[in-house]
């Protein structure tokens, strides 16, 4: 059985090469070829001894998820449906901007959290993605998009905001993060890699200690009663615990604030009074807000707040000296916008089956 080298961060790669009787510097060489050069052909790794290249062809491989479908939106956003086997597919999105290129990466096939406004959650949950399946999205997207004239890859930022809850796939997520940060791999700044979580408090503390990167928290409600409905994991980790965890995270975070993501749902969470509740809620947590227009999907139970309401909500927060932005909707014409990623999931939770029964 061959080892997929995309599964290894630097420490794991070094250990594997040691098992093969090779010196540690070989691991660094191969990491550079795989991730900095985007190379998958061992024969092309010219600074490796011929004997090692021959050995690698027998013992190792470089395999990322295969593309099943590709779509490009009118605004240039690209979405790829990637096959991760056993009837499952995940979605990855590239968002080009004038000063950056952001890749939105998935960490699970489906999602178990069942947030009320998210089409991914309605697909159910099958399994965690491997390290190779997570980092493979970045590896493949770089190769697909190609280097610019200066020989630089187009992806400057990575957000783990695709399908799944990253902190419920903690170990594989952290190994992938370490590759993103490694100077022998992608060399991204911790400030340019963001993990988005719905608020898995113990895992937030672990991430702070093991691999602190920029943090975004899917908040979406100013009080427990509403958040229990919109983000059911709040029933286990209520807002008081979540705010305390955010404060602890900032002790080691690369940014001096937490980003709170807040999907604007018409008549549900978008009133001036709810904005004032938010101000009181986050008083002790240095933060900024990213207000996200709701992106509808089939059978969605909510409507998008109108822009006047969103701007009024923003103004209330900004008057309290909270930096607040309104996220520009990108890729919604190909269902690549926030909350729209659905992929293809063999649901082990049987949620899809239960929803069908209820509908009938």
Written as six digits, the tokens of 207 are 């991430």
The DSSP output letter for 34 is: I
d(Cα 233, Cα 279) in Å, to the nearest integer?
Answer: 22
Other CB atoms within a 10 A radius of the CB of residue 292 amount to 23
Please confirm, yes or no, whether 104 is among the known catalytic residues. Answer: no
The answer to whether 349 and 128 are in contact (CB under 8 A) is no
Report the candidate in 267, 248, 250, 266 with the shortest Cα–Cα distance to residue 258.
Answer: 250
Report the candidate in 343, 347, 346 with the shortest Cα–Cα distance to residue 81.
Answer: 343
* pTM to 2 decimal places: 0.89
Structural domains of the chain ordered from first start: 3-61 (1.10.150.530), 66-359 (3.20.20.70)
Cα torsion 309, 311, 312, 317 to 10°: value is: 130
d(Cα 208, Cα 250) in Å, to the nearest integer?
Answer: 8
Please confirm, yes or no, whether 91 is among the known catalytic residues. Answer: yes
d(Cα 69, Cα 58) in Å, to the nearest integer?
Answer: 31
Written as six digits, the tokens of 322 are 């909270």
**pLDDT, position 358:** 31
Other CB atoms within a 10 A radius of the CB of residue 114 amount to 17
Cα-based distances in Å from 353 to 70, 111, 349, 360: 28, 15, 9, 11
Q: Choose the catalytic residue: 115, 118, 211, 338.
A: 338
- Mean pLDDT, each 10-residue run in order, the chain (360 residues): 94 96 94 96 96 96 92 86 87 89 93 81 83 96 85 91 94 98 97 97 98 97 97 96 98 95 96 98 97 84 93 98 86 48 56 38
The answer to whether 146 and 90 are in contact (CB under 8 A) is no
**pLDDT, position 347:** 60
**pLDDT, position 343:** 53
d(Cα 312, Cα 255) in Å, to the nearest integer?
Answer: 27
Alpha-carbon Rg for the chain in angstroms: 21
Q: Choose the catalytic residue: 22, 91, 133, 165.
A: 91
Task: Specify the 3-state DSSP secondary structure of 283.
Answer: coil
**pLDDT, position 352:** 45
Report the candidate in 82, 138, 139, 135 with the shortest Cα–Cα distance to residue 109.
Answer: 82
Residue given tokens 């975070």 in the structure block? 253
**pLDDT, position 54:** 96
């Amino acid at each position: 059985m061959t080892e997929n080298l995309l599964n290894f961060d630097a420490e794991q790669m070094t250990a594997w090469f040691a098992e093969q009787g090779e010196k540690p510097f070989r691991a660094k060489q191969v990491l550079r070829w795989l991730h900095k050069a985007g190379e998958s052909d061992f024969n092309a790794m010219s600074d490796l001894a011929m004997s090692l290249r021959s050995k690698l062809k027998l013992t190792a491989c470089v395999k990322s998820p295969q593309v099943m479908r590709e779509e490009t939106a009118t605004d240039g956003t690209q979405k790829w449906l990637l096959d991760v086997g056993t009837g499952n597919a995940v979605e990855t999105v590239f968002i080009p901007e004038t000063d950056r290129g952001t890749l939105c990466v998935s960490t699970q096939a489906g999602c178990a959290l069942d947030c009320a406004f998210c089409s991914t959650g309605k697909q159910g949950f099958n399994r965690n993605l491997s390290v190779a399946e997570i980092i493979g999205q970045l590896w493949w997207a770089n190769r697909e998009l190609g280097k610019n004239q200066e020989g630089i890859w187009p992806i400057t930022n990575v957000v783990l905001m695709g399908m799944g809850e990253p902190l419920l796939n903690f170990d594989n997520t952290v190994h992938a993060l370490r590759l993103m940060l490694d100077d022998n791999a992608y060399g991204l700044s911790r400030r340019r890699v963001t993990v988005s979580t719905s608020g898995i408090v113990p895992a937030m503390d672990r991430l702070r200690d093991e691999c602190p990167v920029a943090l975004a928290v899917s908040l979406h409600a100013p009080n427990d009663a509403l958040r229990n409905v919109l983000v059911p994991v709040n029933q286990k980790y209520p807002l008081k615990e979540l705010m305390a965890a955010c404060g602890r995270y900032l002790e080691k975070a690369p940014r001096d604030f937490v980003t709170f993501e807040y999907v604007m749902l018409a008549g549900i969470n978008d009133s001036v009074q709810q904005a004032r509740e938010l101000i009181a809620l986050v008083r002790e947590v240095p933060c900024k807000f990213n207000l996200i227009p709701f992106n509808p999907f089939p059978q969605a139970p909510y409507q998008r707040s109108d822009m006047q309401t969103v701007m009024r909500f923003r103004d209330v927060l900004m008057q309290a000296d909270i930096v607040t932005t309104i996220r520009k909707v990108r890729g919604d014409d190909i269902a690549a916008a926030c909350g729209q990623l659905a992929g293809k999931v063999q649901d082990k939770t049987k949620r899809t089956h239960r929803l069908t029964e209820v509908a009938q």
